[in-house]
Structure 1
């Protein structure tokens, strides 16, 4: 039995779809979601849908019952997710899960960004739990930028504080495929995979947006204070804006770059080219 947490979210849903495409019987897949109604379509296809709320440990025991391999997708509630991850790891150990695959971040041991702190602590917790594990250190989702191209296409500018930092970005679909490989094959116990695609800078990404859209788009690098003002002015809550700026500064220091080819080796093909990812995003922007 393979259980995928956050299965109604972007990444989790892609993993479930990939598992089905690989021939895993629907009845051997558990789509664990905080709101099971959002995964109703998966239930209609025979996937087991179970409630799993990281903040409500009582839901996790039932969700993880009978699970052999668990994909623990990191929570997105900053400030709460370390306790949420603790709840999930404890429930997995109690349920007798044989493998935890955890979605972490690139270079978690040395990554100095605020967002990396919870990943680093969670990795240590999983190691100490005694449950066999594999860490999927996902690189920057290309969709972090391409899902929000409307303003860039309207005003001709992508703003940030990433400088000329190299980003080993990858699409969610590629990272989901890597997770599915780990969940459906052996030999990954104790592995730490640094999962990144072909690197690019924000200047190069903006140029690709311009090429694919036929509109002038450039990258404007801003000091941290100025970028914070832009985000808050656009309606981003101040605490979240601070995290986004901190992440960009991490990019500028090279913390979203990896020379690793782990992603390509796992999925058995090159990662999705930036041009293809941007072209797909421009069509729906």
Structure 2
């Protein structure tokens, strides 16, 4: 079993994200959603205990130190590359924050009020920025056979997003290498690439591949992508899809084949961050 332990995002604004319609044919069963939340809470609690039990080991402390250094340096590189002069807004979620978040109106959710003086060790070291959850749906717009690549933007307009995910074995607190992570999300107007149906007409139709790609985790269990912040559409919280493949064969055309799907999930983005993106001129 693996745990998505950290998602570090560096964001710059140069385009407005807007809304679109929901996936055609989607139905949201509120009773099923409630059951999923209860199951997620139970698994999150168990995962936190498992991680705490081995988090003091030498190997895990070394992994944490490397993660802090890598994420801090990447944040500095991204800010320099985008010529960001303003002071950074730093925030992360921990388990207690997640529990509070689930109990309130998400339309009024804020962020942790970290200052520029908050240590990078606090920002980038927690095991609970994302919580182990039961597998989620891959949705109707998953496309098999996408390319192995880090930059998936293909010129799509939007708010630039550097996405890092790290897979950790919750029984040992050690990283899981060679997991092939498949990501996809809507563009800034809520449209998915590779799909051409009513309510989701992509430029390029079925042959489009924007905002889709695959990366393998390295020896620290890390895979990273350059994408854009996803737009939202009616009926769904703003999200990015993740699908993990293990024991795959890499083909000559830079795609993967075989193996097993070991986890399907979605990253749901902070409401305050989404609002800030959509207010960007």
The TM-score with structure 2 as length reference comes to: 0.25
Higher RCO (CA-CA < 8 Å; seq separation 6+): 2
Which structure shows the bigger proportion of residues in helix conformation? Answer: 1
Determine which structure has the larger strand proportion and give its number: 2
